[in-house]
Structure 1
Amino acid sequence: MNPIALTGGAASFAPPILIPITKNDKKIFTLVSHDKLMDDFFESWCYTLSRKRKFKTIKAYARYNRVFLELLQFVAHLHGELTPLLLSQTIENYESYLVFGTSSENPAIAQAAQILGNRNLSGSSVGVAIAALNSFVDASERLRLGMLEMEANGYISSQQLSGFSLAQTVKMETPTSVRAAIKKNSWLAGCLAGGARRVKRVGLSAISKPSTLAHTDLYGGDKLAFPIDRCKELIEAATSTRDKMLWSLLAASGARFSEAVTMLNEDVKIDIDPAFNRVLIVDPTERHNVLIKYISSAEINALPHKGRTHPQTFLIEPFASMFWIALEEYKTELRAQRLMAPVRHDFLVRSLVDGEPMHNSYQALYERFHKAALKLTQRSYGFHSLRHMYGYYLVNHCPNPNPHSQRKYGLELSLVQQLMGHALIKTTKRYARQDVHLLQAEIAASNFARLSGGPKTVLEARIEYHQQEIKQLQQLALEAA
């Protein structure tokens, strides 16, 4: 625990540390701080949460609550103790700390951010942080009510709950009140003293909401979506058949990285007629009995799967063809391998050294992708940029098979939602952003038709506008050749 030196001659402050542990086959987190009572409560809360939430949620909630407890302990450290008023004020100003930090209007919050660092969270991240804290507060309230009931019935009484562990049998001696029994500088003490209130989100935002428009470059890319016109070149730059197979799979299907690396060989359905080849994405929670043969229960519970509304995928070209070719090359290479030990799992993505599954190897796979993408585009891209690219393509440039639609290209958002496996349409909107150039063409065409002496109809105006666009793009293509 590295202490933080404080200015003004104050003693150093040791922030709480989050440590990953495994408890009863559940991957959770424990806390190490100067408040043992709080640490025990944190671990118990985290374990209880793990029984009904996925590991990705556990991880996010634990990290955000560590941030809050760090802030709370820092405030208590500065004031020498944690009073109910300080606890209430810290909770009320937590969102301001996350969003504005040193720019907060609250002097105490700004001072804390100056020492502990700015978070600068965006809207969606703040929502997760508030939900995490409310989960923690709810747990403390349940404990408070339970202990008060036990005290009222004469089952417990104590003068001191320091070192109290929720995992141990409660045996305490005589107090006048449980609320007065707990040390005053404990987070749990403040909660038990009268119940901490849940946080009502204010909706602060120092960062504007992400645009639903895509300001793409010449190759169809922006800061979120990998340029689709350069994706074929990227895949061909992969240094191994495994990476080529993985990158083309992500580009063709729009799958999340976590979905691809937990895919089994049986999820790739190869038909006699290649037109009927399919790729399925199955939620790990739906086949725990299969995965337990290959990895531990704790690893299964920790898989960062968001879930899909259905397992089917829609593969787009030319990346679909590249995937099927790369898949055969990859499997041919695997069959030729001579490993020290036989492979005892059915995961599609595996290490080329020892054949082990790679569901926990994000960094190793990411670094090669990031390096190749940076070399090709001079931009920093991760695997998720391929999912953004997929959504961008579907809503703007994918041929529309609907005979009743006025759009020849670009699918309806509801269909894109199904193809990307989203439960909520608002999630799809973050990926399937409409190309701003196409919108500008529509607006310019309409204005041109009404204000100029040129074409008299909107259709004629569109034709005129796009003819000019084609000339400009042809010139750019010649210059790039």
Structure 2
Amino acid sequence: MKNFILVEAPVTSEANYILLHLDPGMPDEAREFKPFTDYTTWLARRGYAVNTDKLYSEHVSRFIDYVYEASKTQFPADVEVTIETVIYSYQVYLLFGTDATNPIAKTLAYSLGKTRLTGQNSIAESIESSIRWFLEVAESKNITTPDHLFSRFYSSRAEYRSQYEVSAHKANSWMAAVIRGSLNSVLPKRKQDKLFAKAGRRNRKNDKQPFKILPFPIERSVDFLRQAKPAKSTTFYRDMTLYALLAATGSRTSEALQVRMPDIDGDDFAVFLRDPFARKTPGITEEEHKLLSWKGRETEVTFMIEPFAKIFWENLEKYLTLEYNSSVGHDFLFQNSDGRPFFASDRSSRDKTLKKYALKAGLPDVTGISTHSLRHMYGTYTLNYMPVPGQPLPGLPITYVKILMGHASVTSTMKYAKHDTDIIEAYIQHANQYVMQRGDASFTTIREEFYLRQLEVLKDEANRIQGTQHD
């Protein structure tokens, strides 16, 4: 830290850690940053483990150092600097450091030497909660014991002062009231809300799709993936690599688009789908980071099916050789023509490209077809048609398909990989033929025939048991 030092508290203190100013001109009795001591005292009273107490104290001390540095930094006149903008810029500061485009985060990253980037997962797991609690403790204490750290950000915001704040100003403590009111606007209103934003799951209720997404016709899939490259295309192998990956693994489009080079094991021919928020993502912009998504996946390993796996590895080699740009600063596998991550491209544009290739491969109608259709195809195939050695009927058990598709529950698998209508239609046609061949009278004997068949099954089972006993 630049402005403070974190030290163990004296034995006489209830807190485990205190934060001391490093300003040489500050009197010794004023070096201790009291709001931090209040916070660590609160931590100690809650009985956290030693390592947790230390971790949370370190997170908050770095946050205070950041805010303090902001309080003595001269920003450009066109940059709005308030307690809200400083606090909300902290996430960008942690994630991007000196590569941030946010002027507050970028300026402070250079000033504080922030070169080691923080992962989104660390923010979500402990940084967010530790700062939230510090702000809540500080808010309650500031009413009676004012802290002037944030005063620079509100010295010109007289329009926010209530009558209480004007009175407090006369007592040289009006800033405490200002901070108290301001933090109420900064802190989330409900416990489940987040202080620092993270990409959320897609809300399908907001999707404006005039049709239902359909499985890609499996009988057309190989021709679709093995079609000839257009003469002028510069992204053909990228697109076919992506489509083959979706067909071979059944992954969500967002999962496939966020595959990075370390996720590909060419020796064992394996591809892993990993949470982008569980690791750092160097080389992408703040706007690109906002477009990262993760719906949740139980397994990061994929189970690739043929012939799509073979097609994927063939196209991957051509894509990396002919189209991939290795000097773009990030390691996402799929790129736009300009080298930026493909996951940040427009979804409707990606679906439009797939439909163009699908029509070229002979699909008569592409209504309801999108990149997600390949995931539907994978689920439909593995659940209903996939040949299984030693099993009279094709198709894997639904509990296995659940694992293949990374679902948390079988309910999700039933939704995405439901039994195909042509199987149901085949059963109905067979039953209809049976009835039509025997005429209307078949209904009068249908229950009798059912019981006769059941009796035959029971006799066969009894004979089998007797044979086993004799052996």
TM-score, L = length of structure 2: 0.46
